[in-house]
Structure 1
Amino acid sequence: MKAIAYRTYGGPEVLEYVDLPDPRVGPDSVLIRVKAAAVNPVDWKAQAGYLDSALQAVFPVVPGWDVSGVVEQVGASVAEFAPGDEVIAYVREDFLSRGTYAELVAAPIRTVARKPRNLSFAEAAGLPLAGLTAYQALLKSLEVRGGETVLVHAAAGGVGSMAVQIARAVGARVIGTASERNHEYLRSLGAEPVAYGDGLVGRVRASAPEGVDAVLDLVGGDALKASPELLAPGGRLASIADGSVLAMGGAYVFVRPDPQDLEALTELVERGELKVELAATFPLEQAAEAQRLNAAGHTRGKIALLVG
């Protein structure tokens, strides 16, 4: 199969477009013929070696955890899917090796769910990691409910925009921090935008004088430091970006593969309550350019590699 791989840690320059053996399909896995793979910041951070203390790299490493495609083969114990099924997956394992920037990926069944019928493959590839992160942080960690007010820091980003939509879908009011250029976008998602920077506490308090019920921090730093001041009595705080949230009495959230949560995201998409914005697409062989664009941090929406 054709794939993108790296043989040593580094930046986009270490990526190679190579031929690799087709992956073997274990009893608890499905073989997916990849249609699209999303590019996420964790891809190039892992590639740079930042996750080396947690995830062993088995070189050559194929990057990528997000994928959409068609089931080509199922393992001996798999009854949930059959060849020809259209699926999405968050194919994260406890090591780095067989990622999704490839024509084929063997995905453990615990990472796979059906693809939303109303999304293209490129759009669907952008759903798993960002969607699961937002879903698990909001509904499992913060336990956000209808009628509550939620503050989302960096609400216009990939995870943030999905968090806004998921919170709105359960009936919560959402205040979202973002740069001025993204305020109209947040309004289109149903959030009330506030600007970053000095005076943030006052601006949020002007919108929620009694404080907010929950804060979801996606950036860390000053935004997180200001968050405890913005909570109503009994309010909850969670961050995906900064472990110092634990010292504030909040929760640190690290996303995990979960097929039931993926199915819930698919259902939200099919009901029209969650959409995936696509910023750009690249052919597989231009993965390095896609990573550079992602690392620049100026895009709104997901970046996808088109395969096949």
Structure 2
Amino acid sequence: MKPLWDVIGKRWLGYVFSVLLIIPGVVALVTNSMADRGALNWGVDFTGGNYFHFKLERVASIGQIREMVDRFATGQSIIQAAEQDVFIRTRPLTAQEKAAFMSALRQEFGGVTVLREDEVGPTIGRELRNTAIIGLIIGLLLQLIYVSVRFKSVRYAVTMDLALLHDLLIVVGVFAITRTEVNSSFVAVLLTVVGYSINDKIVLFDRIRENLAMRTREVFERLVNRSLLESLVRSINTSVTVILAIAAVYFFGGVTVRDLAFGLTVGVAISAYSSVFNAGALLVDWDLWSDRRSGRNRTAEVSVLPTGPAMPSPVGPSEARSSGTSRSPAGSGRRRRRSRRR
């Protein structure tokens, strides 16, 4: 019976669309690097800069503070406010820029008390960036080990990691295209996308494993397609629910969490896409490649015969016609007996 939606049969469309999503991000990373702007728009968490903790005479909103900071042109900045306490992180400032910045702040908000002032060098920012990359790699390796043990096959883990790299490449590419600031929350975005994507794909792989135990005669491509369709509604419902919650944070959570919500929205949407169109397809292609290597026939059904005495194999109609073993010997004997009577 032909499936209602043959995702696996048309899996090449998913591969093509994935390539079309990845290429613009890679081009943006390369062109940004060639233009000496940096492949990504690294924030002060990674490049270093100045950190200020002020206490204002009157309460000011984050919007008012950000408007003043942006007007002062201190570049990408991170601003947090709790009543009269304000925390600002900026790019590295010279002594003259720092003095002008403090003067503009006092003119805008009156009395300003400096509670803390620190300067983070680019070396610390570089160490933070390297630590984040190492942590991400360790996370991928740990899930590779876990999935290999859980599903008793390394192919599930490798195909899942390939789908995860697809998701992360697209998220990084979107940040490169939009020049969204990459700060410490970007690391949280990547780790959250990894966790969500793993969970979504494990649901699909677990359904494949269950169907493998129940449908031993079904061709693997059809079984994967069946498993995908059975888990599709769950995947869509979960992803839509999460995206709606993140959208509320994006529109109503303020400027400070908008980049975080933006990255999570892209990551969750891409994870849902790769779970449907990439993870199962990669597993099927791996299985086909393995079969070609071992010389097995994918269309043959394998059944286990009961032990006992060997039974003669039935002779098909075409074999009977070609061997001439039907009734020709008996007919020739009767003709010989009739000729002797005469």
Fold shared by both chains (TM-score > 0.5): no
Give the TM-score of the pair, scaled to structure 1: 0.21
Structure number having the greater strand percentage: 1
Rg larger in 1 or in 2? 2
